[in-house]
Structure 1
Amino acid sequence: MSAELTPEVVDFLSAGTRTGLLAFTAADGRPLAAPVWFVVEDGALVFNTGATTAKGRALARDPRVALVVDIAEPPYAFVQVQGVAETSEDPGELVRTATALGARYMGADRAEEYGRRNAVPGELVVRLRPTKVVANLAVAD
């Protein structure tokens, strides 16, 4: 266990179009989880979400979250990143991150389309800074 993303963990998180499952706490204390598109940048996991979504409201109340990425087939693997989320509404960062997310998940030919579509007022850039990383990159081995 570590508080940093090792090169092996970054490779795992960055492979293909794996999505993350973000765990957060609802206002009434219930645990919730939602899928997110993300990229790894400068030792953090970066994603976008709306400020008024359940995720956005939860982050405003309590920035402590966890994000899990897994492979659900042999050799089975997972990474759990626990940490503190920082949010920004900077328009330039919104366009840049939304475009990067569009490129990863929809392909380079649609990156700008998704960047424009998702970088609108009311959206947030979220940077999940790890405080603990748990990884098992070969569960079945």
Structure 2
Amino acid sequence: MNADQVEAVLARPIAQELLTGPHLVRFAYTGLDGAPRVVPIGFLWNGTQVDIWTVPGSAKVRALAADPRVALTIDTAGMPPRVLLLRGTAELTTIEGIPDGYVEAAPKAVPADQLEQWEAGVRALYDSMVQIRVTPTWATLHDFETTLPRAVQDLLDAKAAAQA
């Protein structure tokens, strides 16, 4: 998939809603033992990249340093489901202190009535964080109104052809 195709998917209104809304991203990577991992985590979309932050000593950081390939899913509950699937490569940057983006992304995971206490705890605990920045190199959107997973579309097409 080329950059223009990725940009076209990400520019769709439903993709923008998923990227900028209150949803967590499900962040998948390969652990050092070769087994897949996936974690739900808060994030920010900066217009071209997904930014995620974590503790410098986390298993994610060690694993991503060894294999930076990642997959991300942002989705909604309810009908019709809306699902944005992304793939890319993670870039790791250590940042002193608590990044503003980490605090800005917190409401995706922390209840509003706990944000102040959460932020105070984070600021007291962490001296630095690692920013995980993912530039999407592949993207697809399934909104189940205008786009469907390929296997579902193929099944619908086959049924329609059989009835014709």
Q: Deviations over 1:24-60 (max 9, x none)?
A: 0011211111111011003111111122222121111
Paired residues of 1:52 and 1:122 also in contact (CA < 8 A):
no
Q: Residue type matched to 1:28 in 2?
A: D
Larger Rg computed on CA atoms: 2
Q: Residue type matched to 1:3 in 2?
A: V
| Counterpart among 5, 11, 34 of residue 17 in structure 2 | 11
Structure 2: tracts of 5 or more residues without a match: 149-164
TM-score by length of 2: 0.71
Identity, % of aligned pairs? 25
Identify if the C-alpha distance between structure 1 residues 51 and 86 changes in structure 2 by more than 3 Å, giving closer, same or farther: same
Q: Equivalent residues in 2 for 1:1-141 (5 A)?
A: 2-4=5-7, 5-8=10-13, 9-16=15-22, 18-91=23-96, 94-106=98-110, 107=112, 110=115, 114=119, 117=122, 120-138=126-144
Q: Distance in 2 between matches of 1:104 and 1:36?
A: 8
Secondary structure at the counterpart of residue 43 of structure 1: coil
Identify if the C-alpha distance between structure 1 residues 124 and 111 changes in structure 2 by more than 3 Å, giving closer, same or farther: farther
Structure 1: tracts of 5 or more residues without a match: none
Aligned residues: 139
Which has the larger helix fraction?
2
